[in-house]
Amino acid sequence: MPHVLVLNASYEPLGVVSMRRALILVLNHKAIALEDAGTTLHSATGAVQAPSVVKLTRFVRVPYRGPVPLTRRALFARDHGRCVYCGAAATSVDHVIPRSRGGQHRWDNVVAACRRCNHTKADRHLADLGWRMKRPPAAPSGLAWRVIGTGIKDPRWRPYLEPYGGLDQFRDFEHHDHPEAVLPAPVRTRPIRRGEQHAPLSA
Ligand SMILES: [Zn+2]
């Protein structure tokens, strides 16, 4: 089943939920569908268009969540799935300042790398090898990362996410039009926190 982008009543991206959860929101009038997925779902009571993007009917306040969580998936999204050193397909995570030399596991010290570069670099500094990066790694920012960080992509989401940051990453949407290809595991999203109104999303 495809996933569905959930927007706040203000159009801010909140996260990604399963089709089932999105349908429950729509059927309970907690959300309206903005974009159809192009398929029809049949139930005992009738047929309904499967949504691809839904918008909550009531605004929910989302507490500040701090930086984008550093996950392999989010890191590969930031670096476009390419080795930052040579441009080959990335298969591993490299610590720019090696951990053995005190480098930390933080956005500004990790990059996507191919196995070859990672192996060649081993526990050396870039300067030791004469390697350079186009730009220093940095933590991504912008509300769109609530979605980009999950690694789930659907080209229909693009116009809704684009105003919220991570513009570069949206070029990748064109090359990965099949969300199932990047869906190895169920994604947990918690768009709404405890103490807030919309119980169905926080279940
Ligand atoms: Zn490489």
Count of H-run helices and E-run strands, the chain: 7, 6
Neighbour tally for 6: CB within 10 Å: 27
- Do residues 56 and 110 both lie within one domain? no
pTM over 0.75: no
Distance 186 CA to ligand 1 centre (A): 29
Instruction: Summarize pLDDT for 82-94 with one digit per residue, the tens.
Output: 999 999 999 999 9
Q: Write the burial class of residue 133 (CB in 10 Å: 0-12 exposed, 13-18 middle, 19+ buried).
A: exposed
The pLDDT confidence band at residue 183, using thresholds 50, 70 and 90, is: very low
Distance 112 CA to ligand 1 centre (A): 9
What does the pLDDT read at residue 23?
Answer: 93
Distance 30 CA to ligand 1 centre (A): 47
- Do residues 107 and 147 both lie within one domain? no
Please indicate, yes or no, if residue 42 is contained in any of the structural domains.
yes
18 pLDDT more than 60: yes
Instruction: Summarize pLDDT for 49-100 with one digit per residue, the tens.
Output: 899 999 999 999 987 777 888 999 899 989 989 999 999 999 999 999 999 9
Distance 176 CA to ligand 1 centre (A): 21
User: Where among 102, 129, 156 does a domain terminate?
Assistant: 129
Please indicate, yes or no, if residue 136 is contained in any of the structural domains.
no
Distance 96 CA to ligand 1 centre (A): 13
Separation of alpha carbons 200 and 203, rounded Å: 6
Please indicate, yes or no, if residue 13 is contained in any of the structural domains.
yes
Distance 91 CA to ligand 1 centre (A): 9
Residue from 75, 51, 85, 65 nearest 14 by CA: 65
Distance 78 CA to ligand 1 centre (A): 16
Domain of residue 125: give its range.
72-129
- Do residues 59 and 108 both lie within one domain? no
- Do residues 88 and 45 both lie within one domain? no
- Do residues 9 and 40 both lie within one domain? yes
Arithmetic mean of pLDDT, 158-171: 75
Which SS3 state, helix, strand or coil, does residue 101 take?
Answer: helix
- Do residues 180 and 152 both lie within one domain? yes
Distance 82 CA to ligand 1 centre (A): 8
Cα-atom radius of gyration of the chain, to the nearest Å?
19
Mean pLDDT across the chain, nearest whole number?
82
Arithmetic mean of pLDDT, 123-145: 90
What does the pLDDT read at residue 169?
Answer: 61
- Do residues 107 and 89 both lie within one domain? yes
Arithmetic mean of pLDDT, 106-125: 96
